[in-house]
């Protein structure tokens, strides 16, 4: 008897007496998920051990059988972790593979493990536990990146640089303020993963196929054993729900978008035209033909990850959108994209944390660029309002005329003479020059959340406390 025939018979035994023949090879290929859901082995075995303990505690199975199951499952886990476990596509999924091996190890007691549960609530449990772990990992990765950004912010709390709108010089800001902008972004991402984790932290085990079970199980016991806050409240919803995976992917996609924005800035800033930052050799590559090149490949690859992660979110939305309650086999297509998105996100977070940690900001280049493009024009307009009691719209017009004059003379605003300024508006005094320098400009922006170094240092202190 060939191995294939043997596997088919094993699979047929799993399905029960309803089927007289084993699956066709094509059906086996499309039906099997073991090629990817083997990643759930640890969660599957952890859930099965908790289930066996509950079955024994409620008198549904004997303590002797429960002990045999628990020890057998530990052996199976050891075999999987050591690479000695032989996975079979004929056994379809991780649940069947584990159970079949358990039967080989302990015999009849293995058949009692599946009492009062179904593969439907089993896979809902395994997948939810896996996604919960990934949410925790994403939160940890985001916190590491936030701390690295805080270190950059603290080092350059009073360094001036240009702030941009439309990628055109707008107003001077501080380097610390710019770094803190990403801390705020990633903090919201961290909160989204935390919120999603709270909602997903309900235990599916005990919902069985879709209607619950007639056995006197203790769902609170298994929920507590597996670190859940409570059992799920509706068995139909439990086996049909993949909101937890969708929320994880949504949070991952927004995080990837933020990572992409930062990556884009690093690509721009490290160019010869900007020279704002130098990226370390660890996160750069060279050119096969141009020896002078130092390419920000890590940043570019992070920038591209949003495509894969957002694609995973759209894919799972599409799988779930038309499914009637409760479980449908379509839902087997829920895992691969989540696995890939989680892997991509963690890699992108680690790479960005490394790049930000290693990069060197060019203070001189930042300051030189900060004063270009008439960046203190708004400060001049604000001074006209404060000092001359001028309506802002008039101040805007006067400032525009002064910018045009400076442009015509080929100088920046601070380089105009007082007579130049008086030629546009007689009321301007020598005091105006006190607001035109870039350092004066950023120092004056003391409103809460502003770019002034005093505000930046206060925000750094707040975040340091929050991230302890």
The catalytic site residues sit at 166, 287
Answer left, alpha or beta for residue 208, where phi above 0 means left and psi between -120 and 50 means alpha. left
- The torsion defined by the Cα of 369, 370, 373 and 377, in degrees rounded to 10, comes to -170
Contacts of 91 (CB under 8 A, 6+ apart): 7, 10, 11, 14, 34, 97, 100
Pull the structure tokens for residue 342. Answer: 């989680």
Contact between 414 and 403 (Cβ < 8 Å): no
Respond yes or no on whether the N-terminal peptide bond of residue 326 is cis (omega within 30° of 0).
yes
Task: Quote the radius of gyration of the chain (alpha carbons, Å).
Answer: 31
Give me the DSSP letters along 283-330. G-B--SS-TT--B-HHHHHHHHHHHHHHHHHHHHHHHHTTPPSS--GG
Contact between 14 and 88 (Cβ < 8 Å): no
Pull the structure tokens for residue 254. Answer: 């927004």
CA separation for the pair 298, 355 (Å, rounded): 8
CA separation for the pair 239, 216 (Å, rounded): 20
CA separation for the pair 405, 421 (Å, rounded): 9
Reference 90, options 36, 25, 38, 16; nearest CA is: 25
């Amino acid at each position: 008897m060939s191995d294939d025939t043997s596997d088919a018979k094993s699979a047929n035994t799993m399905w029960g007496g309803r089927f007289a023949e084993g699956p066709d090879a094509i059906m086996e290929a499309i039906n099997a998920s073991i090629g990817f859901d083997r990643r759930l082995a640890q969660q599957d075995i952890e859930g099965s051990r908790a289930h066996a303990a509950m079955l024994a505690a409620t008198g549904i199975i004997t303590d002797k059988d429960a002990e045999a199951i628990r020890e057998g499952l530990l052996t199976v886990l050891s075999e999987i972790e050591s690479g000695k476990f032989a996975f079979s596509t004929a056994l379809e999924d991780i649940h069947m593979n584990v159970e079949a091996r358990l039967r080989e190890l302990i015999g009849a007691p293995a058949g009692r493990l599946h009492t009062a549960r179904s593969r439907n609530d089993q896979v809902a449990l395994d997948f939810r536990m896996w996604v919960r772990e990934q949410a925790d990992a994403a939160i940890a990765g985001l916190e590491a990146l936030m701390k690295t950004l805080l270190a950059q912010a603290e080092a350059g709390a009073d360094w001036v640089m240009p702030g941009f709108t439309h990628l055109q010089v707008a107003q001077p800001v501080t380097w610390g303020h710019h770094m803190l902008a990403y801390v705020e972004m990633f903090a919201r991402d961290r909160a989204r993963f935390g919120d999603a984790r709270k909602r997903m932290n309900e235990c599916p085990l005990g919902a069985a196929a879709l209607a619950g079970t007639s056995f006197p199980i203790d769902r609170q016991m298994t929920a507590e054993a597996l670190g859940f806050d409570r059992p799920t409240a509706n068995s139909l919803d439990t086996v049909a729900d993949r909101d937890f995976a969708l929320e994880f992917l949504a949070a991952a996609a927004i995080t990837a978008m933020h990572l992409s924005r930062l990556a884009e800035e690093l690509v721009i800033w490290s160019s010869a035209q900007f020279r704002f930052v130098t990226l370390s050799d660890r996160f750069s590559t060279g050119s096969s033909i141009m020896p002078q090149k130092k390419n920000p490949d890590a940043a570019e690859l992070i920038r591209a990850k949003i495509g894969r992660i957002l694609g995973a979110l759209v894919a799972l939305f599409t799988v779930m959108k038309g499914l009637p309650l409760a479980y449908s086999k379509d839902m087997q297509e829920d895992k691969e994209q989540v696995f890939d998105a989680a892997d991509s996100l963690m890699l992108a977070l680690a790479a960005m944390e490394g790049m930000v940690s290693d990069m060197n900001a060019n203070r001189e280049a930042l300051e030189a660029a900060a004063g270009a493009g008439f960046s203190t024009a708004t400060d001049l307009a604000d001074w006209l309002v404060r000092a001359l009691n001028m309506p802002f719209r008039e101040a805007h017009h006067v400032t525009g005329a002064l910018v045009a004059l400076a442009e015509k003379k080929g100088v920046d605003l601070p380089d105009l003479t007082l007579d130049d300024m008086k030629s546009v508006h007689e009321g301007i005094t020598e005091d105006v020059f006190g607001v035109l320098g870039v350092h004066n400009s950023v120092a004056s922006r003391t409103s809460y959340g502003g770019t002034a170094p005093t505000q930046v240092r206060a925000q750094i202190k707040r975040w340091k406390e929050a991230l302890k």
